[in-house]
């Protein structure tokens, strides 16, 4: 809006806006950056200052901000149709997108249930898996196996299968209880291992034991494949996902993969499960699906799961779930164009040298005295800061070291947001190689400054 000063906007923000995952008492004391424009990997505030978007706007952005072709696709679609319901009507754009996605999702995943964010995509997955078991005559299969440090969204069903205590413990009385398996968090292994190369995946052994004990009462298992994002960018050892698939098969659980963060290229392939040749029974996609432009999500499943819901109207086998803005045509049109750009720009190929460069630079970070661990999966990384590296002693929570590093990085034109004391690297996939170096330079300087003894 022209004519409103930054100062005025800040004041109204503090008076009216309640920010997600934010202690508003701190926020009200700060001078928030007010973003007005975007350009490629950059966000530009109302005063014209530029910030490199180091977290791809909450892990959604793929081709950069305000990419001309995506803007055009959106403009064209808005002149045709802004929205029409999918309850009772089919939509041109949602059909085209489902057809297109069927060509790239793992073989066998050909049924697409639309919604509009990652949490709902996971709610759908959980409800679908349970109702599937009911229709198959196994209503006793009503529990879910999940992992410590898992994050699947913030609605109550998604929180129930989540495992991040600081976010989730308050809501415990409202949740259904899930069976929590140890996370493959090698740096702080709960099983007491310290080398994924030689431990034989003790954590997978623990999962196997849980499956033996509880498997027969479980509808499904929920996992973020390869990378637990919000839990701290925890990277699973090779072979883990494949082993999870085997265990699900052995014990009759549907395997639900949450690719909300990993889907659409983040890991270096279109979908994370491709790295291990795993095909889940249900897969949730959101964040990058519409390139960071608009809210859109889809829960993908197999013909077998879909078929279990077929029946006479009166049998009430219908999947009674839906969202007002399911399959929004604007979002679908942008998603279709985004998939075109993946090919046109050979984005996955272009990603490989950037992934390699990130790996190189992370080795340098690893040598900093207060870096305990560096973890990378494709173009995503976590740099875990610790007070004492030899003993892995964490910084006290109240020191807000992660937050302070990100505030410091702003002085170097970097916007980032930490996960506790883990610094996150998660730029738009289309980030230019020199911008990636700029991002890492800024983060490195900020880490050095804040952790200097
Ligand atoms: C962000 C995220 C979600 C939740 O998505 P929202 O759109 O924020 O509801 C779910 N699962 C994973 C793995 C995520 O990273």
Give the residue, by CA position, lying nearest to ligand 1 atom 5.
118
**Tokens 């802004």 sit on residue:** 82
Same-domain check for residues 365 and 286: no
Instruction: In whole angstroms, give the CA distance from residue 246 to residue 26.
Output: 47
Instruction: Identify the pLDDT of residue 169.
Output: 87
The total of structural domains in the chain comes to 2
Q: Name the more confident of 295 and 168.
A: 295
Same-domain check for residues 253 and 383: no
Same-domain check for residues 248 and 118: yes
Same-domain check for residues 95 and 155: yes
For residue 269, the domain's CATH number is 3.40.640.10
Q: Report whether pLDDT(411) > 60.
A: yes
Same-domain check for residues 213 and 291: yes
Instruction: Identify the pLDDT of residue 388.
Output: 98
CB neighbour burial string for 174-211, b if at least 16 within 10 angstroms, e if fewer: eeeebbbbbbbbbbebebebeebeebebbbbeebbebb
Q: Report whether pLDDT(309) > 60.
A: yes
- The model's confidence at residue 428, banded by pLDDT at 50, 70 and 90, is very high
Instruction: In whole angstroms, give the CA distance from residue 107 to residue 274.
Output: 10
Last-in-domain residue among 313, 344, 375: 344
Same-domain check for residues 340 and 353: no
Q: How high does pLDDT run on average in the chain? A: 97
Last-in-domain residue among 323, 344, 365: 344
C-beta 260 within 6 A of ligand 1 = yes
Q: Report whether pLDDT(1) > 60.
A: no
Asked if the structure places residue 120 within a domain, the reply is yes
Q: Counting every residue, how long is the chain? A: 453
- pLDDT tens, residue by residue, 322-348: 999 999 999 999 999 999 999 999 999
Q: Which atom of ligand 1 is nearest to the CA of 287?
A: 7
- Section 406-434 average pLDDT: 98
Asked if the structure places residue 19 within a domain, the reply is no
Range of the domain at 238: 72-344
Last-in-domain residue among 344, 371, 398: 344
Asked if the structure places residue 7 within a domain, the reply is no
CA 380 vs. chain centroid, Å, equals 11
For residue 48, the domain's CATH number is 3.90.1150.10
Tell me, in angstroms, the distance from the centre of ligand 1 to residue 176's CA.
Answer: 19
Asked if the structure places residue 24 within a domain, the reply is no
Q: Look up residue 138 and give its two tokens.
A: 């196994």
Asked if the structure places residue 287 within a domain, the reply is yes
Same-domain check for residues 84 and 46: no
Which is nearest to 165 in space by CA: 407, 405, 397? 397
- pLDDT tens, residue by residue, 49-66: 999 999 999 999 999 999
C-beta 226 within 6 A of ligand 1 = no
- pLDDT tens, residue by residue, 94-134: 999 999 999 999 999 999 999 999 999 999 999 999 999 99
3-state secondary structure of 278: coil
Same-domain check for residues 58 and 101: no
Mutate to test the pocket of ligand 1, among 57, 147, 153, 225 (most ligand atoms within 8 A of CB): 153
Quote the percentage of the chain above a pLDDT of 70: 100
C-beta 119 within 6 A of ligand 1 = yes
Same-domain check for residues 83 and 54: no
Q: Strand pairing of 143-147 and 179-181?
A: parallel
Q: Report whether pLDDT(389) > 90.
A: yes
Q: Report whether pLDDT(166) > 90.
A: no
Q: Report whether pLDDT(2) > 80.
A: no
C-beta 60 within 6 A of ligand 1 = no
Tell me, in angstroms, the distance from the centre of ligand 1 to residue 166's CA.
Answer: 16
Give the residue, by CA position, lying nearest to ligand 1 atom 10.
152
Tell me, in angstroms, the distance from the centre of ligand 1 to residue 56's CA.
Answer: 14
Instruction: In whole angstroms, give the CA distance from residue 249 to residue 105.
Output: 20
Angle at 344 between CA 339 and CA 347, to 5 degrees: 75
Asked if the structure places residue 39 within a domain, the reply is yes
Instruction: In whole angstroms, give the CA distance from residue 284 to residue 109.
Output: 11
Number of H helices, E strands in the chain: 15, 17
Same-domain check for residues 96 and 122: yes
- The model's confidence at residue 196, banded by pLDDT at 50, 70 and 90, is confident
Tell me, in angstroms, the distance from the centre of ligand 1 to residue 292's CA.
Answer: 13
The whole-model pTM stands at 0.97
Same-domain check for residues 302 and 350: no
Mutate to test the pocket of ligand 1, among 60, 123, 164, 230 (most ligand atoms within 8 A of CB): 230
Q: Which atom of ligand 1 is nearest to the CA of 119?
A: 9
Same-domain check for residues 108 and 226: yes
Asked if the structure places residue 12 within a domain, the reply is no
C-beta 152 within 6 A of ligand 1 = yes
Tell me, in angstroms, the distance from the centre of ligand 1 to residue 386's CA.
Answer: 26
Asked if the structure places residue 1 within a domain, the reply is no
Instruction: Identify the pLDDT of residue 231.
Output: 97
């Amino acid at each position: 809006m022209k004519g409103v000063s930054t100062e005025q906007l800040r004041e109204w923000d503090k008076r009216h806006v309640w920010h997600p995952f934010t202690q508003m008492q701190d926020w009200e004391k700060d001078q928030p950056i007010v973003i007005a424009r975007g350009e490629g990997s950059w966000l530009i505030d109302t005063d014209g200052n530029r910030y490199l978007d180091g977290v791809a706007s909450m892990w959604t952005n793929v081709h950069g901000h305000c990419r001309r072709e995506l803007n055009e696709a959106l403009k064209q679609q808005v002149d045709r149709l802004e929205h029409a319901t999918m309850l009772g009507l089919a939509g041109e754009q949602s059909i085209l997108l489902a057809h297109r996605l069927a060509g790239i999702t793992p073989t066998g995943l050909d049924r697409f249930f639309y919604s509009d964010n990652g949490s709902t995509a996971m709610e759908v997955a959980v409800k679908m898996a349970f109702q599937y078991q009911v229709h198959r005559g196994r209503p006793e299969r009503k529990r879910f196996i999940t992992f410590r440090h898992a994050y699947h969204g913030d609605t109550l069903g998604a929180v129930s299968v989540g495992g991040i205590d600081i976010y989730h413990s308050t809501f415990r009385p409202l949740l259904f209880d899930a069976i929590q398996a140890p996370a493959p968090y090698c740096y702080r292994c709960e099983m007491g291992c310290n080398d994924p190369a030689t431990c034989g995946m003790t954590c997978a052994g623990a999962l196997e034991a849980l499956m033996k004990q509880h498997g027969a009462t479980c509808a499904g298992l929920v996992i973020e494949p390869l990378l637990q994002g919000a839990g701290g960018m925890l990277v699973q050892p090779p072979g883990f996902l494949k082993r999870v698939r085997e265990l699900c098969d052995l014990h009759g659980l549907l395997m639900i993969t949450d690719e909300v963060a990993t889907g659409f290229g983040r890991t270096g392939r279109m979908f994370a499960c491709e790295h291990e040749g795993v095909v889940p029974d249900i897969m949730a996609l959101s964040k990058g699906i519409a390139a960071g432009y608009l809210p859109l999500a889809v829960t993908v499943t197999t013909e077998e799961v879909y078929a279990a819901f077929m029946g006479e109207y009166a049998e009430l086998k219908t999947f009674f779930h839906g969202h007002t803005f399911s399959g929004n045509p604007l979002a679908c049109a942008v998603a279709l164009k985004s998939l075109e750009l993946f090919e046109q720009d050979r984005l996955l190929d272009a990603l490989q040298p950037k992934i390699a460069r990130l790996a190189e630079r992370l080795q340098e970070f690893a040598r900093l005295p207060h870096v305990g661990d560096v973890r990378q999966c494709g173009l995503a990384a976590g740099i875990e800061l610790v007070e004492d590296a030899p003993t892995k002693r964490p910084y006290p929570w109240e020191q807000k070291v992660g937050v302070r590093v990100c505030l410091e990085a702003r002085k170097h034109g970097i916007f980032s947001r930490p996960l506790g004391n883990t610094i996150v690297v998660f730029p738009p996939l289309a980030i230019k190689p020199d911008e990636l170096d700029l991002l890492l330079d800024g983060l490195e300087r900020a880490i050095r400054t804040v952790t200097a003894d």
